[in-house]
Amino acid sequence: MTKYVVRRLVQAIPLLLAISVMIFLLMQLIPGGPLAAYENNPNLTPEDLERLKAEFGLNAPIHERYFKWLGSVLTGDWGTSLVSKRPVLAEIGERIPNTFYLALTAFIGSLLISIPIGVISATRQYSKFDNFFTTLAFMGQSLPVFWMGLIVIIIFNVAIKQPDGRPFLPGGGMATIGADFDMGDRLRHLILPAAVLIFFNLGTHVRYMRSGMLDVMHQDFIRTARAKGLDEMGVIAKHGVRNAILPLITIIGLELPGLFNGALITETIFSWPGMGRLFFNAIDRSDYAVMMGVLMISAALIVLSGLLTDVMYGLLNPRIRFE
C-alpha cells in the first residue's frame, strides 16, 4: 500500500499543476480584474491605474504572470490580500481551524445519525420507521440550505426566547462579541450551523446506507453466516454494515473537500468566520490572491480525498489489492 500511496502522490503533482493553470486562466477571464474597485474612484487618474498595474505586475504577459505566481507559491509566498493587505496564507490559516471545528462536528454528527438509521431502515423495510426517515431524507436533500438556515434563525433566534429575553440560540458568529472565552458559549453558537449541515448531509447518507444494506442483506454470504448460527446482530454488524458502507465511503470522499473548504452558504448565513465565508468575501471584493489560494487548497483536498477514499476501500474490502 505504501508504494501505491507514494505513486498516487507523485501523480498528483502534474495534476495540480494543470489545475493551477486552468484556475489562473479562469481568474484572468473574470470581468473587472483585480483593480476593478479602483476604476470608478474619481481621485485616481488613468496614470495612477497604469502605475498600479505595473506595481502588481498586471501589465505583463499572462504566461509571465503565471510563472511568477507559481514560483512565489512554491517558495511559500501566496501573495497579499488586496483588501486586508495581509498575506494570503495568514488569512487562510486563521480560517481553517474554524472551518475544521464546524466541518468535523457536522461530519461526525451526520455519520453517527445516518449509519444507524440507514441500517434500521433496511432491516425494517417499509415499516413506519423506514417511511418516516426516508421522507425526512428526501426533505433534507430537497430543501435549499440558505432557506433552512434562515428558517432555523427565525425560529430559534427570533421567535423563541429565553426567560431573560435573550435569543434561545445565537443566530450568527462563532462566539459572543466582547465576551471572554467560554466553551459553553462556543458550543451554543455551533448548534444551528452544525444542525443545518447535518440535516443537509443526512438525506444522502441515509439513502446510500439504506440502499447498500438492502443489497448486502440478500447476498449469499449473509445467508451463509445465518446458516452457521451467527445471531442476527452479529450478521448485521460484522458482515452487513462493513460491506454496505462502501458506497457511502465514496460519497463521503466527494463531500470532504466541500466540508473542509467551508460550507459557503452556511458560513455566510451564520456569519461563521471560516473558509467558505472568506471565499465569498474574496469573490465579492475581487480579492484575486485570496481566491486563488482558496481554490488551490480546494483542488489539493479533492485530490487527497480521492486517495483517502481508495485507501479506505482497501482497508474495508480485503478483495481489493493495491498493485
What are the tens digits of pLDDT across the range 17-66? Answer: 999 999 888 887 777 666 666 666 777 777 777 777 777 777 778 888 88
pLDDT score of 265? 84
Segment 72-82 mean pLDDT: 85
State the Cα–Cα distance between residues 206 and 212, nearest whole angstrom. Answer: 10
Report angle CA 162, 163, 168 to the nearest 5 degrees: 0
Q: Which residue has the cell 432491516?
A: 123
Domains in the chain, ordered, with CATH? 2-74 (no CATH), 96-316 (1.10.3720.10)
State the Cα–Cα distance between residues 317 and 243, nearest whole angstrom. Answer: 7
275-284 helix and 288-316 helix, angle to the nearest 10 degrees: 150
Any residues with CB less than 8 A from the CB of 133 and at least 6 apart, and which?
A: 117, 121, 206
pLDDT score of 318? 64
Which tens digit of pLDDT belongs to each residue from 280-309? 888 888 788 888 888 888 888 888 888 887
More confident residue, 284 or 269: 269
pLDDT at 96 over 70: yes
State the Cα–Cα distance between residues 214 and 218, nearest whole angstrom. Answer: 7
Which three cell numbers mark 86? 495581509
State the Cα–Cα distance between residues 20 and 291, nearest whole angstrom. Answer: 12
* Contact between residue 262 and residue 277 where contact means Cβ atoms under 8 Å apart: yes
